[in-house]
């Protein structure tokens, strides 16, 4: 049996350690990106909300679940692409606040593998799921492009952006968006080339230049999950018309609670500007 000198053994150990640090995120990347919850925590019925159950079929045959939540006097419908954890039941508080603060209809849907939706998540699958959600709104609900707001939070911002590049809508709203999964990997493991090895891309920075609708980006200035600087960088790369609203003191998951009235004012003024522009064009 060959025995290596201590210095060489140390180098071999360090090389193996670095290789392990690189390979673990690559081999388990989906488990590190997607955190789906199957069980619904609460339903609109239990909260006394008006709603319609929706069953969607993605283009590859996967059946998805969603809730359409209407409100009296709405002008816009917000299609919500949620983040990488939980399911639509964890977004009902946001939907209720959208009703109260913005008077918008809200459509929540779960990606494959989340909640009551079939399958398992991956990048292309989430894009297919968003297309299915859009088809439901445009066909079953008759939502016109001029009344549709596409909204995405965190990972959902990448899904929302891709959808906004493919279908007509009145505007796109992104909350806590990252520039790419590669950049996110680099922010977590800055000394390892993990990002280049990942199959999942969600490359928002490469895509956003093709956007052809008004854009609002909201980002907590104390976000420790998605760096605030990534939201600013994405905004800088986006074409006009665009607005950026920094949420003072907010992290990643407390944006609308910490942001409070100023947060909802930013939303309201953005939507109000869209409505005014639509009215003046007739």
DSSP letters along 111-154, please? PTTSTT--S---HHHHHHHHHHHHHIIIIIS---GGGEEEEEET
| Spatial separation of the C-alpha atoms in residues 129 and 133, rounded to whole Å | 6
Please give the span between the terminal C-alpha atoms of the chain, in angstroms, as a whole number: 85
Could you say which of 105, 110, 129, 154 is catalytic?
154
- CB-based burial, 107-139: b 16+ in 10 Å, e otherwise: bbbbbbbbbbbebebbbebbbbbbbbbbebbbe
As separate numbers, helices (DSSP H) first and strands (DSSP E) second, the chain gives: 9, 10
Clarify whether 93 is annotated catalytic.
no
CB 152 within 8 A of CB 177: yes
- Phi first, then psi: give them for residue 210, nearest 5 degrees: -90, 0
Please confirm, yes or no, whether 154 is among the known catalytic residues: yes
Determine which one of 74, 138, 252, 254 is catalytic. 252
Q: Helix 255-280 crosses helix 92-102 at what angle (to 10 degrees)? A: 50
Catalytic residue selected from 110, 122, 183, 223: 223
203 part of the active site: no
Q: How many Å apart are CA 276 and CA 171, to the nearest integer?
A: 13
Catalytic residues: 154, 223, 252
């Amino acid at each position: 049996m060959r025995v290596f000198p201590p210095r060489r053994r140390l180098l071999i150990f360090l090389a193996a350690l670095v290789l392990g640090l690189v390979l673990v995120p690559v081999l388990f990347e989906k488990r590190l990106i997607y955190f789906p919850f199957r069980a619904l925590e609460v339903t609109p019925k239990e909260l006394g909300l008006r709603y319609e159950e929706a069953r969607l079929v993605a283009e590859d045959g996967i059946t998805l679940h969603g809730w359409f939540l209407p409100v009296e006097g709405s002008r816009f419908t917000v299609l919500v692409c949620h983040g990488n954890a939980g399911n639509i039941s964890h977004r009902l508080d946001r939907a209720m606040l959208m009703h109260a603060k913005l008077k918008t209809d809200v459509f929540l849907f779960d990606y494959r593998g989340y909640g009551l939706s079939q399958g398992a998540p991956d990048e292309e699958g989430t894009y297919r799921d968003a297309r299915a959600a859009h088809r439901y709104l445009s066909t079953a609900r008759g939502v016109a492009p001029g009344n549709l707001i596409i909204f995405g939070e965190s990972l959902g911002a990448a899904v929302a952006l891709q959808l906004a590049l493919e279908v007509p809508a009145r505007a796109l709203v992104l909350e806590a968006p990252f520039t790419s999964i590669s950049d996110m990997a680099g922010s977590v493991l800055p000394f390892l080339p993990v990002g280049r090895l990942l199959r999942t891309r969600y490359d928002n920075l490469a895509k956003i230049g093709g956007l052809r609708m008004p854009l609002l980006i909201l980002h907590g200035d104390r976000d420790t999950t998605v760096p605030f600087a990534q939201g600013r960088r994405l905004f800088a790369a986006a074409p006009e018309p665009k607005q950026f609203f920094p949420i003072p003191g907010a992290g990643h998951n407390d944006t609308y609670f910490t942001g409070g009235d100023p947060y909802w004012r930013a939303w309201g003024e953005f939507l109000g500007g869209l409505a005014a522009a639509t009215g003046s064009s007739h």
